[in-house]
Structure 1
Amino acid sequence: MSQETDYTEDNIRSLDWKEHIRMRPGMYIGKLGDGSSPDDGIYILLKEVLDNSIDEYVMGAGKTIEVSIQGNKVIVRDYGRGIPLGKVVDVVSKMNTGGKYDSRAFKKSVGLNGVGTKAVNALSHFFRVESTRDNKSASAEFSQGNLTNQEVLDDTSRRKGTKVSFIPDEAIFKNYKYRNEYVEKMLKNYVYLNTGLTILFNGEKYYSENGLKDLLEENIKESDVTYPIIHLKGEDIEIALTHSKTQYSEEYHSFVNGQNTTQGGTHLAAYREALVKTIREFYGKNYDASDVRKSVVTAVAVKVMEPVFESQTKTKLGSTDMGGNLPTVRTFVNDFVKTQLDNFLHKNPETADKIQRKILQAERERKELSGIRKLAKDRAKKSNLHNKKLRDCRVHFGDIKNNRYLESTLFITEGDSASGSITKSRDVNTQAVFSLRGKPLNSYGMNKKIVYENEEFNLLQAALNIEESIEDLRYNNIVIATDADVDGMHIRLLLITFFLQFFPELIKEGHLYILQTPLFRVRNKKETIYCYSEQERRDAIEKLKPKPEITRFKGLGEISPDEFVNFIGESIRLDPIMLDKDMSIEALLEFYMGKNTPDRQEFIIDNLKVELDIVEEVHEN
């Protein structure tokens, strides 16, 4: 007979603000992570502090923001009005305290809920805020949300503004490090959306004169645009638009009040609809929506009064109206695109002609593919191969109401033994497994037809749900999990080629990773250490001396499910796949995956590294 637990007043407990944030950080900053993903918590902490400085600029106070990241310490300095000196402590440590509640002061601000800096404070091992105004200064220091020091200076020559310094708490963010590439992308987006603003990051200057036009130029090579970028601006809305010559998929960059809404929302849905409607009406043809939008590379930014987002991290707009006496988001966006894009096309017949030719080309390609698409879908249904290839999870990237949606991950593995180990040790809520049969095809130089003809590619595309648009992506993290041997490296290369060729925006948006797995296990009777490099192995041997047992892992299939859980859980190590902004995708694929050339042979010889006989080295130790 089971014993019932008493449920009394003693069971009810109230957490103070910092305890609640530290116990449930996901509610405030999304997932934690270690800095290998652009939506990891350490970047959200930086963003929350920056948003306040951006809001000062928007209000006309301070044209420069300085950002410094040295190791794990982050410093953000603006030259805005400065926090009112008597409220410096309250603003960063009392819930429901802030200037954003007075909508007269911050009508279209980014950080509206007064939670941001409190979350940064609570989740930091060290947090310092300093405000200067009217030749006076006040500062406060905290650790894990607890006030540790306070100072007031009655006379100072410092320039007015606010300076925030913090070190994320390693008790919460394990083994983290800031990656400059992600920080740079965030800062560039801020300057594109706030023309005239200067951001200095570790001494490097970021500035934009042409807003979203500059953003597109950063994301698409001049040689790849079908026609010059169309750039249209109105009050509370801005769009930039072109079509790629080589890219198959649609690529959208969307923003609300300066916030990068990576999951879109009502404004992006309205923009996609308006684009199709306007183009159909301009040409007087009922073109298929997918043909109009195929290969489009575009950006849209709107400003909304008191926006409603679908999560604390503000990645998806939920607002249906613009606020005040303004119309709905859908009507507002539709009216702007209908008027401005239609006017532009009438005034620029050469661009209009190129757009129409691009649409007709997309229509031809779609019709050529329609038969093979149907065949591929029928084949998949008949053999029910989805179940064999994909072991799905419960929470997906689109489930934005679930606070674990950012953790949704698909592991792409080779062979049955590796996929078996991952399947048995994974978190069934957020981790799915897709098993490859062997080496995938080299898809370089092939057209989209191969994605449907090749069973493996077709099923991978279906598992990811990206056939129509990246907006429907089912997993935030796509992780290639192959052995660290020559065959495993080759499979990685072939998969990266597939994504670059047909779905490059998955890489551009930071969804693709390589799973790091340990090379060695070093243990004694008391402790086990998994080592990912030679240096880690040496350190482990030193720590566990005199004579620890050393095991060399040759492949993922050799690692038991009981051990595998250590490598794909909290301490997972991922290497993000990033694109070099100075290298075109075409040139990259041509060099590495095209015909063998003397240049490539020379590159291989110059970069060939002879690995030491590790087994012998282990014995020597």
Structure 2
Amino acid sequence: MTNEPQPASGAYDATQITVLEGIEAVRKRPAMYIGDTGERGVHHCVYEVVDNSIDEALAGHCSRIQVIIHADGSIAINDDGRGIPVDMHATEGKPAVEVVLTTLHAGGKFDNSSYKVSGGLHGVGVSCVNALSEWLEVEVRRDGTVYHQRYERGAPKTGLERIGKTRESGTQITFKPDEQIFGATTFQWDILTSRLRELAFLNRGVCIVLEDEGQGRRESFQYEGGIREFVEHLNRSKQAVHPEVICFEQMRDDIQVEIAMQYSDAFTENIYSFANNINTIEGGTHMSGFRSALTRTINQYARANKLLKDNQDALSGEDVREGLTAVISAKIPDPQFEGQTKTKLGNGEVQGIVESVLNENLSTFFEEHPNVARAVIQKALTASRARQAARKARDLTRRKGALDSGSLPGKLADCSCRDASKTELYIVEGDSAGGSAKQGRDREFQAILPVRGKVINVEKARLDKVLSNEEIRTMITAIGTGIGEDEFNIDSARYHRIVIMTDADVDGAHIRTLLLTFFYRQMPELVERGYIYIAQPPLYKIKRRKHEQYIESEEQLTRVLLELGIEEQVFEAVDSGPRLAGDELRDFLMLLSHFERQADQVRAKGIPFEEYLRHCDPESGAFPQYRVEIDRGEEGLEYRYAFDETSLRTLREEAERELGGELEIELKGGPRALNDRPVLRWTEVFSAPRLSELAVRLKEAGFEVGRLCPGEQPVGHLYDQEDCIPVDSLFGLLESLRREGRKGLTIQRYKGLGEMNPQQLWDTTMDPGRRKMTRVMLEDAVKADEMFSILMGDDVEPRRAFIEANALNVQNLDI
């Protein structure tokens, strides 16, 4: 508020007050409801829908959840629960499912009659997803009937319609994130895998299936052991201190607490907390209760059993958590979260309950298993001694730094700017590349720190050993944040971009991995804040005649080869068709490459593309949206195609008249229906709208879609200065010109940064106007911890298994 008068041109009165209602408010300020509009927000939409299915499982009505990523960028979440109610709502005057999907703060979770425990409590989850989707379709299977309704940007496009009979129950919600809202609308397999695996661990017995139709990938998660198996999964690449996972579960004051924990030989802690299946990444009262009770219980046992002498200091929380992997799951009837994204639990009563549950059960476990208790306390005592040694090493490092020339290492070529938000530190492999980088850099904001050899693997060493490594100490001093739980201060960072720049060979990859391990294990907040980057020097330099170009990826190389393939090439269609060369031919090939990708998506759904192509409408270019399968039992299968929902319903009605009875609708990929009557299944082709757009463009270019695949006659001829080559199809034309692009081409593979002079290094890797860098982000803490343990830990077998599983994916192997 201000008392200064407003200028006349900026009048502020009642007309400036805007009232946003319901869905409109969500579209105007989406970040208020889903956290952000980037990649995280897109996936949060999926979690909102999946959480509803999980709530059905918690209520005992759902055992299987399917999540399917479709080729057009949409995603479907299907469960076998009770199905959203479809009867008319008493006060809203429309079906309950429509109320749920279009009205904020509407749902079945505001009292405990339908759901005793629930992750979705605010009633804004699925309605927000609807509001932020380009389109959303809901299919409800309930009381023997299948219902369907479509929405576009939150508004109903059709009414709720009965589309058939079924013996199944459940809900399927399919939606496509709105590109007007989200910056990125692509669903990431790894991110979804992590969350769905978590949910399967936290809800023992529930089967969750994830499929990606475009990539042909499928993974199923089902764990009868619950969070005990979760801890075993987290520790499978580590050496356990005690073989049995400590696990207990207790209900107290209507709050269910589950805790599973196991110590390993690692030097870091991995504790994950959940409240009503929500990953509370910022912790909360349940995490506070766990930490305080763990420290107190272990110290009490150690004192009582003379494992800790009377004159010794008590073990700190940091000591007792070293090497601990734990999962805390609380199920609370009325949880209080901070915001809709639910990253921190606020219920004060939960802390005391978790403390008492852990104290009682862990004390009993230690009394019954004294060998485990002694092993745990011995590890904590070793950690305590290492912590004291690390403190002395830090003190020594600081004293030495103060006595030397200033406090910055001599090998650091610092920048002149002192605004940390504008500066960047390049950690460069070797003195040779460091020399080129120092000469090529912009001294105003770019600092260079060369590192020699390979730094210590911090995955296998405690902090006191880490601090004995000269290269590590140099980096710590240059970055300026300090190190260790007690001293690290992110606000003291001297650079907000720390760029790892290593050679594009095996040694460079190893050094990069060692540095990333150091930052993730010892300075994790640098990673969490997004301060760590990886430079992307070019992989290739290609040369053909006078053409010379730097290539940064395999994908770019493929694209360039296609462009080079059309040089001095002319494509002439048969029967007085178009004649294409130069830019026209390049644009036409790009159109064909789009067609090729969509054709692969159709094949991934088990539909032969040539067959599908024959059902395209030659006049409009429209492709069928559905491939319908009529299962007549012993008479076999019949396939038909439908262009939209109306023609799908018409097709079903016609088939029922032909067969003289109702067809039972069966969910594709779901449990099989009983075979006492014919069954109707359909596969929705989510590539159809995109294919239809491409077909129109292809027709404008002078070709029918039928010429994409080989036919009886060639589609045209490819001419250059010497040859005339018949082309059997448009896809064949694409492949021929890819091969042509490699002729006469010299490809130089860059491996060492030292191979570039300072100007080349600046032009390709350091110039902010042209360079490309990869920002290191922490999307999945469980996956990251597992990967560092596998690749950098002591246990050889998990690393061997990883190498065997990924050997065929290796590219550019140096041997």
TM-score, scaled to structure 1: 0.74
Q: Distance in 1 between matches of 2:395 and 2:207?
A: 52
Q: How far did 1:361 drift?
A: 1.4
Secondary structure of the corresponding residue to residue 68 of structure 1: strand
Q: Distance in 2 between matches of 1:422 and 1:518?
A: 23
* 2:345 aligned residue (293, 307, 317): 317
Q: Deviations over 1:297-348 (max 9, x none)?
A: 111111223212223211221222xxxxxxx222101110110000010001
- Contact residue 500 and residue 507 of structure 1 kept, 8 A: yes
Corresponding residue of 1:400? none
Q: 1:331 to 1:582 in 2, by over 3 A?
A: closer
- Structure 1 stretch 307-316 or stretch 271-280: which is displaced more? 307-316
Corresponding residue of 1:363? 384
Q: Distance in 1 between matches of 2:183 and 2:465?
A: 42
Corresponding residue of 1:22? 27
Secondary structure of the corresponding residue to residue 476 of structure 2: helix
- Contact residue 276 and residue 289 of structure 1 kept, 8 A: yes
Corresponding residue of 1:51? 51
Secondary structure of the corresponding residue to residue 100 of structure 1: coil
Secondary structure of the corresponding residue to residue 263 of structure 1: coil
* 1:238 aligned residue (244, 247, 258): 258
Secondary structure of the corresponding residue to residue 157 of structure 2: strand
Corresponding residue of 1:373? 394
Q: How far did 1:239 drift?
A: 0.8
Q: How far did 1:379 drift?
A: 6.1
- Structure 1 stretch 195-204 or stretch 289-298: which is displaced more? 195-204
Q: Distance in 1 between matches of 2:537 and 2:156?
A: 41
Q: 1:301 to 1:260 in 2, by over 3 A?
A: same
After superposition, residues 343-354 of structure 1 pair within 5 angstroms as 343-354=364-375
Asked if 1:120 corresponds to 2:125, the answer is no
Q: How far did 1:54 drift?
A: 0.5
* 1:135 aligned residue (102, 121, 144): 144
Q: 1:580 to 1:502 in 2, by over 3 A?
A: closer
Q: Percent identity?
A: 27
Q: Distance in 1 between matches of 2:45 and 2:792?
A: 36
Corresponding residue of 1:534? 557
* 1:272 aligned residue (275, 280, 291): 291
Corresponding residue of 2:514? 494
TM-score, scaled to structure 2: 0.58
Corresponding residue of 1:329? 350
Q: 1:421 to 1:18 in 2, by over 3 A?
A: farther
Q: Distance in 1 between matches of 2:487 and 2:158?
A: 51
Q: How far did 1:520 drift?
A: 11
RMSD: 4.8
Q: Deviations over 1:441-463 (max 9, x none)?
A: 52125542254343244358874
Q: Distance in 2 between matches of 1:393 and 1:133?
A: 56
Which one-letter code corresponds to 1:118 in the other structure?
S
Q: Deviations over 1:417-441 (max 9, x none)?
A: 89988997xxxxxxxx997454685
Q: Distance in 2 between matches of 1:17 and 1:412?
A: 49
- Contact residue 479 and residue 515 of structure 1 kept, 8 A: no
Q: Deviations over 1:48-100 (max 9, x none)?
A: 00000000111111211122123322111111121110211111111121111
Q: 1:494 to 1:343 in 2, by over 3 A?
A: closer
Q: 1:439 to 1:582 in 2, by over 3 A?
A: closer
Which one-letter code corresponds to 2:394 in the other structure?
R
Q: Distance in 2 between matches of 1:562 and 1:584?
A: 34
Secondary structure of the corresponding residue to residue 113 of structure 1: coil
Q: How far did 1:471 drift?
A: 13
After superposition, residues 55-454 of structure 1 pair within 5 angstroms as 55-71=55-71, 72-85=73-86, 86-153=95-162, 156-202=165-211, 203-221=218-236, 224-227=239-242, 228-235=244-251, 236-245=256-265, 247-284=266-303, 285=308, 286-320=314-348, 328-377=349-398, 383=406, 392=420, 436-438=449-451, 441-444=454-457, 446-453=461-468, 454=472
- Structure 1 stretch 436-445 or stretch 23-32: which is displaced more? 436-445
- Structure 1 stretch 491-500 or stretch 534-543: which is displaced more? 534-543
Q: 1:263 to 1:70 in 2, by over 3 A?
A: same
Q: How far did 1:534 drift?
A: 2.2
Q: Distance in 2 between matches of 1:240 and 1:221?
A: 15
Unaligned residue ranges in structure 1 (runs of 5+): 35-39, 321-327, 395-408, 425-432, 522-529, 611-621
Q: Deviations over 1:25-55 (max 9, x none)?
A: 2222223334xxxxx2222111000000000
Secondary structure of the corresponding residue to residue 344 of structure 1: helix
Number of corresponding residues: 551
Q: Distance in 2 between matches of 1:474 and 1:186?
A: 34
- Contact residue 261 and residue 316 of structure 1 kept, 8 A: yes
- Contact residue 421 and residue 557 of structure 1 kept, 8 A: no
- Contact residue 42 and residue 168 of structure 1 kept, 8 A: yes
- Contact residue 476 and residue 482 of structure 2 kept, 8 A: no
Q: Distance in 2 between matches of 1:318 and 1:545?
A: 61
Q: Larger Rg: 1 or 2? A: 2
- Structure 1 stretch 278-287 or stretch 190-199: which is displaced more? 278-287
After superposition, residues 562-601 of structure 1 pair within 5 angstroms as 563=769, 585=790
- Contact residue 201 and residue 230 of structure 2 kept, 8 A: yes
